[in-house]
Chain A
Amino acid sequence: MSDSAIEPFLKGNTGRNTRGILRLSILCIIAAAAVASRLFSVIRFESIIHEFDPWFNFRATKYLVANGFYDFWDWFDDRTWHPLGRVTGGTLYPGLMVTSGAIYHALRALTIPVDIRNICVLLAPAFSGLTAFATYLFTNEMSTSPSAGLLAAIFMGIAPGYISRSVAGSYDNEAIAIFLLVFTFYLWIKALKLGSAMWGALCALFYGYMVSAWGGYVFITNLIPLHVFVLVCMGRFGPRLYVSYCTWFALGTLASMQIPFVGFLPIRSSEHMSALGVFGLLQLIGFVEFVRSGVPSKQFATLLRGFVLAVFAIAFGGLVLLTVSGVIAPWSGRFYSLWDTGYAKIHIPIIASVSEHQPTAWPAFFFDLNLLIWLFPAGVYLCFLTLDDEQVFVVVYAILASYFSGVMVRLMLTLTPIVCVAAALALSHLLDTYLTIKSPEEPAETELDAASNAAPAASKKAPKQDGLRSLRQPLIGIYTSFSKTSVVGALTAYLLLFVLHCTWVTSNAYSSPSVVLASRMPDGSQHIIDDYREAYQWLRQNTKEDAKIMSWWDYGYQIGGMADRPTLVDNNTWNNTHIATVGKAMSSREEVSYPIMRQHEVDYVLVVFGGLLGYSGDDINKFLWMVRIAEGIWPDEVKERNFFTPQGEYRVDEGATETMKNSLMYKMSYYNYNSLFPPGQCQDRVRGVKMPDQGPTLNTMDEAFTSENWIIRIYKVKDLDNVGRDHASAASFERGNNKKKSVKRRGPKVLRVD
């Protein structure tokens, strides 16, 4: 009964409309699921910006909304990198801020009063819904199967590899960049397929948007030329290729140069040279083809081919020469570290010190992609079967992204879309094979039909090269309901497990704001540790408007965003020397650090200390990076070796080296720490060691603030002594031991004589 009622909706034109509506509603549900799975952090904690970089983006967005676009474009920020300042308008990717600013003004125009913070928090989930849609479009270009696109969309919506950078509150460039990445690729495939200049121009426009949003645009800049190059090498050059690529390149390069931060890079730096080279190559080939169409002589054509090769060699040689002579900027450090994973550690410790620039561990692939990582090779293999232009793109993308994601943890993000697409291709192929309901009734095939429990049995009989093709024939397939149900059932179970895994990973691993920490009380209730905001709020309320705060660069953006105070260094890390200066101040003796801090007008110093709570991401654990970075600039004054015991251990307890014990960081971290414990039981819970009973003394600073769980400690730098004593003697005078004072006074006098 119900069958006959549904019947008219499944046939003919109405059927197409019904399927269209179904498809649309499924896509909407997928988008809703993508958004919903990213809201854990908002529900558990509150609507708050996460981590480090988002705080800067948030601050910049607020500036944009408050001061308008032109002020934002020309923004010189004197509240960071004191005393240098930062030309913020010219050194950021403005796409993210402009997007949320535009949304803000649009909503305002619709008289929907909404806080800019909520827009920023929810921007990433909203764009993840769009990403799912873009993936759907992209996959539909790859496959004729109707289910592949939908599968890819849902994979993209909930894959943890993408969620990791797009939960609510993670207001980072990647939030919109992944959508732009996938959508640009979709437009590119579309342009290539149709040979249409309009799609190429649209692709260029979205590429420009991508450039304005994320430094990872270089991935597109290299992937599309590589795709074209591979196609040319396969002998697939044609007018469609020329039209789409040249339109994209000419417009896209100009579009990318509109961003001040990118500027002349597209014609100066080596990263962009492949695109330029392929562009030139296409011009040459196009010209040769044009001439050859006029002259059909074979010898002439081969002559011209030789000419093309010669020009290519000359151009390549010229490129190398220009790079060596310095006209074209050589590859930047981050790109060297892509080829040689050990490069950054030796030459640029500041890049290596960022945890997301580390090589990926194997389990991370399974953790972030779960089932998809198994299906990924199968999907790529299926692309080899029908190797059209767009399938070549999938293959090239897969190879390139697999390599890069293995080199750098955060490039897992660029791998995720192609894994989703390839896995969806594989899975939809499987489902299409096993889910065909109707069995053919041809009399000739009945015996085969009965004999074939599964396809392999049938295909084994067939000759080898015919085996795969025969699978696609409608008469040979899987017809027993047992094999159908078992395979489909197993696949469904895997998919459900995948959903479970994604939800679990998202809720447990990727939904912590890291500004607010959560822990479980013994009775299972949640306990919120809010030390960061407590300390930043203290700074905001108890210090002067222009009090300079010195801290390690990780906390620069947060101090700027939450406490609204000038900082010395922040996560932008554009000036290595300045960071090394801070590293030197942190890792030297007080007598050395104090002049540095005076010179930089530091009023307060902020350190993060996890010893009491067992919070492992604290400054003592990051300390070696400060030492290394400082050593890179002052190899004579800071030596990493001195921070290790002769046995080569990094210790903070009784056995720590003198250099370690005298360093400012050590003193600030453990100052007064032993007063918390009864004598002899002072313990550092991160390092798991017993601390000495006698804590360090601080002469040049006063403890100003320590948060509830001691995670953040703020010290005020003392002014010069009124009577002209040095701080050590003044402090010991205060403590009342006169003997030491007289001893210490002699020291400086001797120095003065020298």
Chain B
Amino acid sequence: MAPKRTTASASREATPSSSSTTTIPTTPSRTVVSKGSQSPAQIAAGIWENYQDKTPQRTKLVDVFLAFLVVVGVLQFVYCVVAGNYPFNAFLSGFSATVGQFVLTASLRMQTNMENKADFVAVSHERAFADYVFGSLILHFFCVNFIN
């Protein structure tokens, strides 16, 4: 998924760190979408288009990782339902590793999102990434410890 979008928005994403420029051109596209609110398919297509236009490249990468985590989590859960949860510790630590990683990544995504800049005065992007690594380290330490 990621490579396709890379080509689509590569030109715009040359300077992702100063991505305040990227948010400005999105406003016209948003108004375009809001005009047509008829069928669900159109809405979905509108969301998708909007997303592709608006989102910086790095954030897309994060989103792919999030989608991957959701898939893994769903797989684990389905396995647990179908095949039983016998090593419950193992299932739990695997599942919570997925959920925890998802949440941490979502946090990273929020913190690096330019729209939320007013909320995170104290958190620069580098700081956000350092926090993310710190949280992930703790998370995986606990998971490994818990897995039995």
Interface residues of A (CB under 8 A from B): 194-198, 200-201, 204-205, 238-240, 242-243, 246-247, 249-251, 253-255, 257-258, 264, 267, 283, 286, 291, 293-297, 299-300
Contact = CB atoms under 8 A, between A and B. Distances in A.
A198 B130 contact: yes
B75 to A, nearest CB: 18
Given A240-B119, A243-B110, A295-B46, 11 more contacts: A195-B122, A196-B123, A197-B108, A201-B138, A204-B138, A238-B116, A250-B139, A251-B142, A293-B115, A295-B43, A296-B30
A294 B138 contact: no
A205 B34 CA distance: 45
Given A196-B122, A197-B108, A247-B135, A294 B96 contact: no
Interface string B26-45: 00001001100100000100
Contacts of B119: 195, 238-240
Nearest to A256: B142
B78 interface: no
A294 B143 contact: no
A254 B139 contact: yes
Contacts of A197: 104, 107-108, 111, 128, 131-132, 134-135
Given A239-B113, A250-B104, A294 B139 contact: no
B92 A257 contact: yes
Contacts of A195: 111, 119-120, 122-123
B16 to A, nearest CB: 19
A709 B83 CA distance: 67
Contact of A258 (B88, B134, B145): B145
Contact of A240 (B100, B120, B130): B120
8 contacts: A195-B122, A197-B135, A251-B135, A254-B139, A267-B92, A294-B51, A297-B34, A300-B37
B116 A239 contact: yes
A242 B146 CA distance: 25
A297 B37 contact: yes
B22 interface: no
Contacts of A283: 103
Contacts of B92: 257, 264, 267
A224 to B, nearest CB: 15
Contacts of B123: 194-196
Interface of B: 30, 33-34, 37, 43, 46-47, 50-51, 54, 88, 92-93, 96, 99-100, 103-104, 106-108, 110-111, 113, 115-116, 119-120, 122-123, 127-128, 130-132, 134-135, 138-139, 142-143, 145-146
A198 B51 CA distance: 29
A251 B135 CA distance: 8
A196 B121 CA distance: 10
Contact of A201 (B33, B134, B143, B145): B134
Given A196-B131, A243-B111, A258-B145, A250 B34 contact: no
B138 A205 contact: yes
B86 to A, nearest CB: 14
A286 B110 CA distance: 10
| Chief secondary structure at chain A's binding surface | helix
A198 B143 CA distance: 18
B81 to A, nearest CB: 13
A648 B116 CA distance: 71
| Chief secondary structure at chain B's binding surface | helix
Given A198-B134, A253-B96, A294 B37 contact: no
A538 B123 CA distance: 65
Contacts of B88: 264
B51 to A, nearest CB: 6
Nearest to A204: B138
Nearest to B123: A196
Contacts of B142: 251, 254-255, 257-258
Contacts of B37: 297, 299-300
A496 to B, nearest CB: 41
B125 to A, nearest CB: 13
Nearest to A196: B123
A94 to B, nearest CB: 14
Contacts of A253: 96
B142 to A, nearest CB: 4
A401 B130 CA distance: 36
B47 A246 contact: no
B122 A254 contact: no
A239 B103 contact: no
A280 to B, nearest CB: 10
A242 B50 CA distance: 24
Nearest to A289: B110
Contacts of B106: 242, 246, 286
B110 A239 contact: yes
Contact of A251 (B93, B110, B116, B138): B138
Contacts of B128: 197
Nearest to A255: B142
A299 B119 CA distance: 27
B146 to A, nearest CB: 6
Contacts of B111: 195, 197, 239, 243
Contacts of B132: 197
A300 B108 CA distance: 27
Nearest to A282: B103
A293 B113 CA distance: 12
Contacts of B115: 293
Contacts of B54: 294
B43 A300 contact: yes
Nearest to B145: A258
Given A255-B142, A257-B92, A291-B47, A198 B110 contact: no
A294 B47 contact: yes
Given A264-B92, A295-B33, A243 B146 contact: no
A254 B135 CA distance: 12
Nearest to B139: A251
Contacts of A205: 138
Contact of B146 (A246, A254, A300): A254
A200 B128 CA distance: 12
B34 A254 contact: no
Across the A-B interface, the 3 shortest Cβ-Cβ residue pairs: A250-B100, A197-B131, A239-B110
A409 B138 CA distance: 37
**Residue from B110, B122, B127 with most neighbouring chain A CB atoms (10 Å):** B110
Nearest to A200: B135
A196 B131 CA distance: 7
A240 B93 CA distance: 26
Contacts of A194: 120, 122-123
A294 B52 CA distance: 11
A238 B115 CA distance: 12
Contacts of A257: 92, 142, 146
Contact of B100 (A251, A267, A297): A251
B51 A243 contact: no
A516 to B, nearest CB: 43
A251 B143 CA distance: 10
Nearest to A197: B131
Contacts of A239: 110-111, 113, 116, 119-120
A198 B139 CA distance: 12
B80 to A, nearest CB: 12
